[in-house]
Amino acid sequence: MSDGTLWFKAEDLDGLGRALFEAEGVPPGDAAIKSDCLVSANLRGVDSHGVARIPIYLKRLRSGLCKARPDIQVRRLTPVSALVDGDDGLGPVVSTRGMAECIAMAKQTGIGVVGIRRSTHFGMAAYYVLQALEADLVSFVFTNASRGMPAWGSIDPFLGTNPFAAGVPGGESGMPYLLDMATSVVARGKIRLAAQRGEAIPAGWALGPDGLPTTDGKEAMRGVVLPLAGYKGSGLAVLMDLLGGVMTGAAFAGLIRSAYNDWDAPQNTGHFFMCMRPDLFMPMAEFRMRMDVFVRRMKALRRTPDCAEILMPGEPETRKEAERRRTGIPLRPEPLAALAAEAEAGRITMPAGRAAPLG
Amino acid sequence: MSDGTLWFKAEDLDGLGRALFEAEGVPPGDAAIKSDCLVSANLRGVDSHGVARIPIYLKRLRSGLCKARPDIQVRRLTPVSALVDGDDGLGPVVSTRGMAECIAMAKQTGIGVVGIRRSTHFGMAAYYVLQALEADLVSFVFTNASRGMPAWGSIDPFLGTNPFAAGVPGGESGMPYLLDMATSVVARGKIRLAAQRGEAIPAGWALGPDGLPTTDGKEAMRGVVLPLAGYKGSGLAVLMDLLGGVMTGAAFAGLIRSAYNDWDAPQNTGHFFMCMRPDLFMPMAEFRMRMDVFVRRMKALRRTPDCAEILMPGEPETRKEAERRRTGIPLRPEPLAALAAEAEAGRITMPAGRAAPLG
């Protein structure tokens, strides 16, 4: 009773992604970053930000509104701040350059802040938090995004579903903190997937183009997704737009172009990264010990009947990645067909998928 | 048809607060900060963090668990980081010292981070964001707090309803951004007020001591308030505890003492402040112009039927303050009686209130 889903090895999808981006003129190193960012999202269960988006990124590259070979400028302004001009490059390529600079400053001075302008959709925010965690640094990763969500009190799309993402290195037990949450009730990508599948969405997720509540995924995609917790989610998304857009020099206030619908100009997405050493106030060993105490105490709490285990933010995604490295990454028929068409057009061998989980 | 509420001039309540704290041995300058922090909360409509809390703060001072004359140590560790040991002083006194240091660093280097340990309840987080805004700085103001909210999946109180607070200076129009939101569905102080008034609370706000949902304010005070938006609010509150507690050296993981219920040790509350110049990436005039564009564009959006005007985060509180500077601050009979009893015991003249709004 197959629904047409096929499972692929992560390495195979990664190879496909690299080949497709290289075929559009993206240098191999940059194509590897872009592909890794997408496959990493799939591995972590964030399929809305995974390889299913490859076709739209290729289309942006072909249009010239996203550049395969951008002239990315990284300018260190002070010992703690740097400005990146992404020159309309692929978001993960621009952002990985920016995060590397942010990490370097934090290592040197204890803290670093990077503003990024003229970027494009950077994919899963957690991808950059993971880079900071790899360097043993606390991080904030903020971005704005094309409008899809109203400011509180409004019915017009104005804010992106701007993610709030942050990380804190773990203790000796190796359990870090990683939060990557849309400031909307739900990630817009989930509504997009529902629309593609012709599925209904829960009430309270979105307004249709008429400003009235809807449970139709397609109507919701033409309307707006609602901010989480009313004015609170709206307030957080505004902050992401002020730091990621107003302050960096990128587009803001609903003027970030949609990668899907705007073909007259580059996106000019803005990002804001902050990295910080976790041992600013005590030796690293003491910090690590305290992180372990936190995790141990939290996991020992009494649970609700439907909760098998209390998890740290980021832990569900880490487990999903371990699982999908075994089972492979499932792809549904629609994105699969779009990827296969791209592969065929580029004379690239489509990797073999299996109708059941691997391993 | 009076319910016993009386209205007081802000200056009169401020004078009362100063006198009461001075009577407990708090130096005049520190008493002024503490009183101003509380009256400022009332003015902004955040009555849960206002002068109604004076009696519990006095009780903490008398117990010696909060010190009237702390030896607050501010240590600049690097050009961008400082550690504050609050020596169990009044939270607003400790935190105002910390924020001043944070502002000084940000002015000098572009950014500053302050960790604060051995503090006590610091009141309304917006109080410190306002200090940073006064200095034209972006800020994050984080704190942990005594346990009253479960981590997602748990029924035990573990996290505080740790506020997420941030500010961004405004443009020439003078409209800044100021978000100060509890990471719970609702501020715990609102449940406390409902409990004091014997009022019911909405479903979905809290679990009772048995771990089951309740709409009884008193039961909810014995139980836990729920995090906003499930794992998202829980994830934000965890971040506040990691940065405010784990990283600074303060108590954390449910071990911050309650100002109301724990009389065996100081609270050891922790705070984390970050200040940043908004003109890191462009001239200040350009930043201000862009902030104005943001506000203008947001306010021009189409509104839902029940929305008279789209407001910036912080704007409702600014308007409330303007209103209450005219009408005075309303105090209900219960907190009023407690304040009058404290005044009488200290031979301090209780200011005159009126049974109707002033002006």
Verify whether the Cβ–Cβ distance B239 to A109 is below 8 Å.
Answer: no
Residues of A in contact with B280 (CB under 8 A): 77-78, 81, 83, 113, 115, 247
The range of the structural domain enclosing residue B319 comes to 68-184+227-326
**Cα distance between residue A259 and residue A146, in whole Å:** 8
Q: Is residue B35 part of a domain?
A: yes
Residues of A in contact with B293 (CB under 8 A): 252-253
Q: Do residues A58 and A136 share a domain? A: no
Nearest CB neighbour to B249, from listed A110, A242, A282? A282
Q: Do residues B13 and B154 share a domain? A: no
Nearest CB neighbour to A83, from listed B166, B281, B312? B281
Q: Do residues B145 and B257 share a domain? A: yes
Residues of A in contact with B175 (CB under 8 A): none
In a mutagenesis test of the A interface, which of B81, B85, B224, B247 is the best target, namely the one with the most A β-carbons within 10 Å? Answer: B247
Nearest chain A residue to B235 by CA distance is: A313
* pLDDT at B333 exceeding the cut of 60: yes
Nearest CB neighbour to B294, from listed A155, A242, A249? A242
In the block, tokens 């981070």 appear at: B113
Q: Is residue A132 part of a domain?
A: yes
Verify whether the Cβ–Cβ distance A281 to B115 is below 8 Å.
Answer: yes
Q: Is residue B310 within 8 Å of residue A152, measured between CB atoms?
A: yes
Q: Do residues B97 and B169 share a domain? A: yes
Cα of A114 to nearest chain B Cα, Å? 9
Q: Do residues B299 and B336 share a domain? A: no
Verify whether the Cβ–Cβ distance B246 to A302 is below 8 Å.
Answer: no
Q: Is residue B208 part of a domain?
A: no
Q: Is residue B112 within 8 Å of residue B274, measured between CB atoms?
A: yes
Cα of A67 to nearest chain B Cα, Å? 23
Verify whether the Cβ–Cβ distance A298 to B154 is below 8 Å.
Answer: yes
Q: Do residues B39 and B158 share a domain? A: no
Q: Is residue B198 part of a domain?
A: no
Query: B177: number of CA atoms within 13 Å, CB side?
Result: 29
Residue B279: CB atoms within 10 Å: 17
Q: Does A104 touch chain B (CB under 8 A)?
A: no
Q: Is residue A277 part of a domain?
A: yes
Residues of A in contact with B213 (CB under 8 A): none
CB-based contacts of B68: which residues, under 8 Å, 6+ apart?
Answer: B21, B24, B25, B26, B27, B30, B61, B90
- Reported as a single tens digit per residue, the pLDDT across A199-226 is 899 988 898 888 888 999 999 988 889 9
- Reported as a single tens digit per residue, the pLDDT across B223-266 is 889 999 889 999 999 999 999 999 999 999 999 999 999 999 99
- Chain A 176-195, residues with CB within 8 Å of chain B CB atoms: 177, 179, 181, 185
* pLDDT at A315 exceeding the cut of 70: yes
**Model pTM?**
0.96
Q: Do residues B6 and B28 share a domain? A: yes
**Which among A194, A246, A198, A251 is positioned nearest to A225, based on CA atoms?**
A194
pLDDT at A1: 46
Q: Do residues A133 and A247 share a domain? A: yes
Q: Do residues A245 and A314 share a domain? A: yes
User: How high is the ipTM of this complex?
Assistant: 0.95
- CATH number of residue A341's parent domain: 1.10.1530.10
Q: Does B313 touch chain A (CB under 8 A)?
A: yes
Distance (Å) of CA B249 to CA A79, A284, B235, B270, B359: 27, 12, 20, 8, 48
- Reported as a single tens digit per residue, the pLDDT across A56-67 is 999 999 999 999
Q: Does B137 touch chain A (CB under 8 A)?
A: no
Q: Do residues A151 and A29 share a domain? A: no
What is the identity of the amino acid at B55? P
Q: How confident is the model at residue B91 (pLDDT cuts 50, 70, 90)?
A: very high
Residues of A in contact with B311 (CB under 8 A): 153
Q: Is residue A189 part of a domain?
A: no
Nearest CB neighbour to B110, from listed A80, A185, A309? A80
- Reported as a single tens digit per residue, the pLDDT across B15-68 is 999 999 999 999 999 999 999 999 999 999 999 899 999 999 999 999 999 999
In a mutagenesis test of the B interface, which of A147, A173, A207, A247 is the best target, namely the one with the most B β-carbons within 10 Å? Answer: A247
Verify whether the Cβ–Cβ distance A153 to B311 is below 8 Å.
Answer: yes
Nearest CB neighbour to A239, from listed B155, B177, B238? B177
Q: Do residues A233 and A175 share a domain? A: yes
In degrees rounded to 5, what are phi and psi of residue A351?
Answer: -65, 160
**Which among A169, A180, A166, A170 is positioned nearest to A274, based on CA atoms?**
A166
Residues of A in contact with B164 (CB under 8 A): 236
- What integer is the mean pLDDT of B276-305? 96
Q: How many Å from the N-terminal Cα to the C-terminal Cα in chain B?
A: 20
Q: Is residue B192 part of a domain?
A: no
Q: What is the dihedral of CA B227, B232, B236, B237, to 10 degrees?
A: 20
Q: Is residue B309 part of a domain?
A: yes
Q: How confident is the model at residue B8 (pLDDT cuts 50, 70, 90)?
A: very high
- Chain B 221-280, residues with CB within 8 Å of chain A CB atoms: 228-229, 231-236, 238-239, 241-243, 246-249, 252-254, 274, 276, 278, 280
**Cα distance between residue A319 and residue A313, in whole Å:** 12
Q: Does B168 touch chain A (CB under 8 A)?
A: yes
The total of structural domains in chain A comes to 2
pLDDT at B3: 86
Cα of B32 to nearest chain A Cα, Å? 30
Verify whether the Cβ–Cβ distance B154 to A294 is below 8 Å.
Answer: no
- CATH number of residue B303's parent domain: 3.30.1370.60
- What integer is the mean pLDDT of A235-239? 98
Q: Who has greater pLDDT, A202 or B292?
A: B292
pLDDT at A22: 98
Verify whether the Cβ–Cβ distance A246 to B78 is below 8 Å.
Answer: no
Q: Do residues A158 and A263 share a domain? A: yes
Q: Is residue A302 within 8 Å of residue B155, measured between CB atoms?
A: yes
Verify whether the Cβ–Cβ distance A281 to B181 is below 8 Å.
Answer: no
